[in-house]
Structure 1
């Protein structure tokens, strides 16, 4: 079985270049982790909360990509928000943990319309297990042996919100940093470029008596040198106690999501994602778990 796992991983690497993460990590239930992508979201709900997610890709494949995200947010007075977000990911031989302190400031543009401006300050602890490259028969450029470092970074974001709709734009890591990549079968170092995130959503009240709401949203990701990727997400909510829906990612994935709350304080969620990419025929499944607690 171990040999089979290695064969599958080598196939993924040769076909899709998946030995190293090609883009910053994604979360299917991204709506509850928005300050990880955009610091302007911290404290926007006026609540103090902790959110945690665990994501395991390609279930059953040894050393397949996994990620954990934890965020905390609160308000300081009427217009200030403060929080912290941590995102840890492991992709075969690559490991990184980004930690950021998030600040937001609210500007009231008009009655019911607010503009939130955000700033993120932190850094990324990054390392590559060069000895693990032998598993995949990959040659190593001498420059890669030194990759084990902490890279400081800063990010900015903006959120425009009016009643039931919102739109936002952010670059959570403005500075390019060194990372590993596969170039024609040779592991070498390249510069990781900033990602741009654009998000929009609306909340439709379908039945006031039952507090039945439809919540469509979309999040687009852009980085120079890679195709634009967009997540389309639609959730149906019953009195903010139970919601379910679906998601589609344009680079090849569908997902079903279900979330339910206990006494309006504890939210438990699960997402099951299936890839449509042909090179992942042997391991298409991804599981994601969500916990949120309001203080």
Structure 2
């Protein structure tokens, strides 16, 4: 059982050559390995990023898949472009796959926030190698495996789109774009599978739950154009900006029905993951896959490790510093501005009491100490005189610089005094003008108050007159209402007498109407009894007729059922005959392919024989004799020669 499972793991992707295609490895921590599935991810983090991943699947089985990737990417030109490099190795049993890509991305800024749309392109190659000596088979002498070592290299291309904002991201990419267009002839000697195009759709969001917890739901849909699909649904939580913890569920299904007879392999799994930040630059991740497929009873778990390193591009390529002269000029301007600000903050004092700011002294170069050498006195005196003259010149220049600086400060202080006097005169003029305006405003307000008092007196007289007029009108209205109440009381008495008379008349009419209704009800009940009897008789006849119709319908249904069963039987027999015919045709085609293969092999052998040297011919004959002996021995041991079609 174990040998069969090992054989299945190592060869399940190889012997479906033109029909089924090789799938790329899938990582559980795909959300931290964006460059592997989408080339547009290059430069997304705006840092230099180095990521390495190692995954072992179905731990404990010989020849189980082992996958490793290494990727590097960095931004360029103010994060508008990205460059990257990605290499991946996938080993399954006797097979070894290697792919490498150079990646370029271009990023568009969609708004003033963090929304970006990136386009990515990856160009590289794909290498497939097969080592037959590592195969575990029932027949070690089979030529297909014994000593069959081969490799194939093909160019490859990938393309992707990636959108991101402050809280959301989505990506669409396609790998292995060239494989479907490369002419491919299956060859059992190389066992190289044909890779199919893989399409990835992924999206996720960051949802803050509190100041220290952020939830990150995401999904990855992987579609094999000529195979089945896998869907990863994930939920992560970032705790205190230090650690990611979460889980995922992976499911396989058939999304595009390209090959109706192709089975869907159950790769369902539950996944637990964590990512730990080690300082500002390193991140360590681990994922554990628990298989929910047929191999779960064999404890076939998977482990995945990841290590990431991130470095600020500014630290790697710091901006060029300005020249020394520019730095000195900027520093002197800053010092001058600082001195002027301090002088403005000081209280006003006479010019003569302003402290002088000492001029910056240039550091004197220290004379180099030299070992005493025997020289004559004239040269020594000449050197001393030159040194004294140089020192005197430097002292004179220093005094001149101090004098110039003192004059500049004095001129600045005089100009400052003039500016302050001018500002004071201007302030006095503005204060005088303000006082005159305030006096005019006070006079205007006084006149307005007098006018307001006169208007209020007139309004009061008018209001008193209107109040008296209102009181007179209210008295007249009260007298009128009193007269109307008396008239209303008289009319209410008359209406009451009339209502009592009408009520007596109404009671008499209702009594008569009740008697008439009672007689009518008795007559109606009599008619209803007759109608019910008639309806019951008709219903009995109807039920009898329905029973007869139902019996006839059941007889017809039984006859139709027998007819359908006969037709289904004939259809099943026809399908069985067609299936048998198709099977025979398939066997015939298979035999023809075998014959064609044998013919090609014979032609190849004959061509090799025609081109071989006498020494090669002698060696070939010896090998043929040895092969005949080996085949005879196998026939004696097993009764028939093993066919390379069975493994």
- Alignment-derived partner of residue 286 in structure 1: 302
CA drift of 1:262 comes to: 1.4
Counterpart secondary structure, 1:281:
helix
Q: Distance in 2 between matches of 1:254 and 1:266?
A: 27
- Alignment-derived partner of residue 10 in structure 1: 7
Matched-pair contact (CA < 8 Å) for 1:147–1:179: no
Q: Is 1:234 paired with 2:231?
A: no
Q: Which has the larger radius of gyration?
A: 2
1:175-233 deviations in whole A, cap 9, x for unaligned?
Answer: 1169999x9xx9955421111111100010111x32x1001111111112211111111
CA drift of 1:10 comes to: 3.4
Q: Is 1:135 paired with 2:137?
A: yes
Alignment counterpart, residue 206 of structure 1, candidates 209, 215, 219: 209
- Alignment-derived partner of residue 51 in structure 1: 51
Matched-pair contact (CA < 8 Å) for 2:208–2:214: yes
Q: 1:141 to 1:8 in 2, by over 3 A?
A: closer
Q: 1:50 to 1:12 in 2, by over 3 A?
A: closer
1:111-165 deviations in whole A, cap 9, x for unaligned?
Answer: 33211000101111211123444526697879xx685122111111001112211
Counterpart secondary structure, 2:33:
helix
- Alignment-derived partner of residue 194 in structure 2: 191
Q: 1:132 to 1:280 in 2, by over 3 A?
A: farther
Q: Distance in 1 between matches of 2:100 and 2:61?
A: 28
Deviates more, 1:150-159 or 1:272-281: 272-281
Q: 1:75 to 1:62 in 2, by over 3 A?
A: same
- Alignment-derived partner of residue 66 in structure 1: 66
Matched-pair contact (CA < 8 Å) for 1:259–1:270: yes
- Alignment-derived partner of residue 256 in structure 1: 272
Matches within 5 A, 1:143-222: 147-176=150-179, 188-207=191-210, 209-210=211-212, 212-222=213-223
Q: Is 1:77 paired with 2:77?
A: yes
Q: 1:192 to 1:110 in 2, by over 3 A?
A: same
Q: 1:263 to 1:189 in 2, by over 3 A?
A: closer
The two structures, once aligned, show a CA RMSD in angstroms of 2.8
Q: Distance in 2 between matches of 1:67 and 1:180?
A: 27
- Alignment-derived partner of residue 286 in structure 2: 270
Alignment counterpart, residue 122 of structure 2, candidates 117, 120, 123: 120
TM-score, length-normalised on structure 2?
0.41
Whose RCO is larger (CA < 8 A, sep 6+)?
Answer: 1
Q: 1:178 to 1:38 in 2, by over 3 A?
A: farther
Counterpart secondary structure, 2:36:
helix
Matched-pair contact (CA < 8 Å) for 1:40–1:117: yes
Q: Distance in 1 between matches of 2:272 and 2:184?
A: 32
Q: Distance in 2 between matches of 1:87 and 1:254?
A: 24
- Alignment-derived partner of residue 35 in structure 2: 35
Question: Please, which runs of 5 or more residues in structure 2 have no aligned partner?
Answer: 16-20, 253-267, 312-647
CA drift of 1:291 comes to: 0.4
Matched-pair contact (CA < 8 Å) for 2:217–2:234: yes
CA drift of 1:52 comes to: 0.7
Deviates more, 1:266-275 or 1:190-199: 190-199
Q: Distance in 1 between matches of 2:138 and 2:200?
A: 33
Aligned length: 283
- Alignment-derived partner of residue 103 in structure 1: 104
Question: Please, which runs of 5 or more residues in structure 1 have no aligned partner?
Answer: none
Deviates more, 1:17-26 or 1:224-233: 17-26
CA drift of 1:282 comes to: 1.4
